Amino acid sequence: MWASRDLLCWLLLGNDMASSPTQKALKWIRDQGYTADVAEYWNHFARRRKDLFGFIDIVAAKAGEPLIGIQATSRTNISARVRKIRSIEAHSLWLSSGCRLLVVGLPRVVELLEEGTIDVVHHKKSRRGSRD
């Protein structure tokens, strides 16, 4: 059975289920060859979404690679999400245990490191008729 948010997206947008930042990030990480699933859930009583450790929406795994925690957001909210994650103590434990932490606001992806951040992906839309 579909969650009500997914059903609403399907009704409003047709078959384009990849409309929320979480669904877009999930598709993006799966396209990279990772097995991934949503780790956030809806708390019906509090009427809020609850992220894993307060900052992880998606967990992704791939053989031979470190576990990845993903905070999905819009491109314009990436810096706010990075500040939020840095304010949560558990993020240091996540990183020091060898796991990776990405903030995905497609087309931009930022990786949080123990000290600082780096842009992992920043796609630019190609212009029509441009040659590679």
Give 69-95 pLDDT, tens digit per residue.
999 999 999 999 999 999 999 999 999
What's the pLDDT band for 19 if we cut at 50, 70, 90?
Answer: confident
Measured CA distances, 49 to 24, 45, 88, 99 (Å)? 17, 11, 17, 23
Local confidence band at 13 (pLDDT 50, 70, 90 cut-offs)? very low
27-59 residue pLDDT tens: 999 999 999 999 988 888 988 888 999 999 999
Q: Please report the pLDDT score of residue 6 as a whole number.
A: 56
Residue 5: how many other CB atoms lie within 10 Å: 14
Residue of 74, 68, 60 lying closest to 22 (CA atoms): 74
What share of the chain has pLDDT > 70, as a percent? 77
Cα–Cα distances (Å) from 33 to 30, 63, 70, 112, in that order, read: 5, 10, 15, 21
Closest CA to 61 of 7, 100, 95: 100
- Longest C-alpha distance within the chain, in Å? 54
Identify the pLDDT of residue 2: 47
Binning pLDDT at 50, 70 and 90, where does residue 116 land? Answer: confident
